Amino acid sequence: MNEQKMISSIEDFQLVYDEELKSLKRPTVLICGYTGTGKTTLIQKICGEDMVPEDEIAHDAPGTKVFKEYTTPLIRFWDSRGLEPGDEEEEFLSRTRDFVRNVQRSESVDDHIHIVWYCIQGPGARVTKSDERLINEIFGKENTLVLITKNDITKPIQRDSITSYLISKGVPEDMIIPVSEDDPDSLNMVVQITHKLLPEAYKDAFISAQILSIVEKKELASTIIDSASTLALTSGWVPLPNTNAPIISVIQAKMISNLAMLYGFDKKELMTILAPTLGRLVGKQLASSLAKLIPGLGNMISGGHASIITRALGRQVQSYLEKAAIDSLEGKPKDSFKFEWSEFENIFQVLIKSYKEGINIFK
Ligand SMILES: Nc1nc2c(ncn2[C@@H]2O[C@H](COP(=O)(O)OP(=O)(O)OP(=O)(O)O)[C@@H](O)[C@H]2O)c(=O)[nH]1
Ligand SMILES: [Mg+2]
């Protein structure tokens, strides 16, 4: 869609959102390990209950079928059932090898497995031959994070012996992470290292898919706002609509869509909570507010002003979405979105001042 175009309806906004979602490259994570090691729990803790419903966690019999796929537009997990007592080790290894080979043979690298989370449960205090062979021969050490799960019920001596054994078998120390489901710091570590290891193209979708690391989301939000406001600057003159028309440009709608995806707002939430306020209310009030903020404003906005408006808008939407993401992490309902005019005007004034003083606010 033309960048300078105005968004004149919710349907247009929806189209922009769909296009942006399609353009994100989704990473694939294979999660492996013996049955009951906490694999499915880990996916749920890192990506939320929308991804894995509570009844998928098995508290008695083995829960996950051989290779189960969990997919959203932002991430794909292959959740594998591990070796169980009674299974033939060779058969299990060759089944896993075949699965990995098949996936890696897909024509598009987007469908390949990009990273492996291999789970070994801490209280088991064992690294089996089959664990070792999967990590070293089938998956490859560079892309395999070994997670020592159930760290909350693991004795230090159990954790230390698993770690030193793995290191003696060539697993790099920084690829071994003790985790427990109720320790957000340990889960955050998994998020950070996964983010670091993923190929560049898949990093953004991963940061959007995970629900835990607000810090990583914030960094990406700044990049999204920076690029939108830079684009608004270079996209030249933007027509200022009459006071009844929406003022959201495609650039701003893209920015808002990306921020919404980043903070876990799906299309429905974006369309019902954010878009109507931004599209109508903001359109109306923003035009009159701008007339006050920009002396001598005619019926056009310069690229410079458009850029500052985009940035001020982005910051406000970002801080709302961040709070909503934290609330939902804490099990609270999301507030409705209210546009704070005084905050918008303050940010606008500060940015205009810096701009006039020659401070480069576009980076
Ligand atoms: N103490 C403790 N228990 C955990 C932790 N993570 C998972 N569990 C429990 O371990 C059991 C198995 O968890 P799942 O997530 O279903 O394990 P899985 O690896 O997916 O099992 P399969 O699907 O059978 O291969 C459940 O009772 C979980 O509640 C943890 O960090 N600490
Ligand atoms: Mg499972």
User: What pLDDT was estimated at residue 41?
Assistant: 93
Q: Does residue 208 fall inside a structural domain?
A: no
Question: Global pTM?
Answer: 0.88
For the chain, the farthest-separated pair of C-alpha atoms sits apart, in whole angstroms, at: 81
Q: What H or E segment, with its residue span, contains residue 129?
A: helix 129-133
Residue nearest to atom 24 of ligand 1 (CA): 62
Domain of residue 75 covers 28-198
Q: Is the CB of 152 under 6 A from ligand 1?
A: yes
Residues 224 and 346 in one domain: yes
Residue 346 scores a pLDDT above 60: yes
C-beta neighbour count of 313 within 10 angstroms: 26
Last residue of a domain, one of 198, 224, 239: 198
User: What pLDDT was estimated at residue 57?
Assistant: 65
226 vs 273, higher pLDDT: 226
User: What pLDDT was estimated at residue 6?
Assistant: 65
Q: Does residue 309 fall inside a structural domain?
A: yes
Residues 187 and 267 in one domain: no
Q: Does residue 363 fall inside a structural domain?
A: no
Last residue of a domain, one of 198, 228, 260: 198
Residue nearest to atom 32 of ligand 1 (CA): 150
Residues 73 and 127 in one domain: yes
Residues 295 and 258 in one domain: yes
Residues 247 and 279 in one domain: yes
Q: Is the CB of 58 under 6 A from ligand 1?
A: yes
Residues 47 and 119 in one domain: yes
Residues 150 and 48 in one domain: yes
Mind listing the pLDDT tens digit for each residue in 26-80? Answer: 999 999 988 889 999 999 999 988 777 666 666 555 555 578 889 999 999 998 8
What value does the mean pLDDT of the chain take?
Answer: 85
- Mutational test site, ligand 1, from 31, 51, 57, 130, max ligand atoms within 8 Å of CB: 57
Among 118, 120, 121, smallest CA distance to 138 is for 118
Q: What percent of the chain has pLDDT over 70?
A: 84
Q: How many domains is the chain built from?
A: 2
Residue 363 pLDDT grade (very low, low, confident, very high; cuts 50, 70, 90): very low
Residue nearest to atom 30 of ligand 1 (CA): 150
Please give the DSSP secondary-structure letter assigned to residue 213. Answer: -
Please give the DSSP secondary-structure letter assigned to residue 126. Answer: -
Q: Is the CB of 62 under 6 A from ligand 1?
A: yes
User: What pLDDT was estimated at residue 352?
Assistant: 79
CATH number of domain containing 191: 3.40.50.300
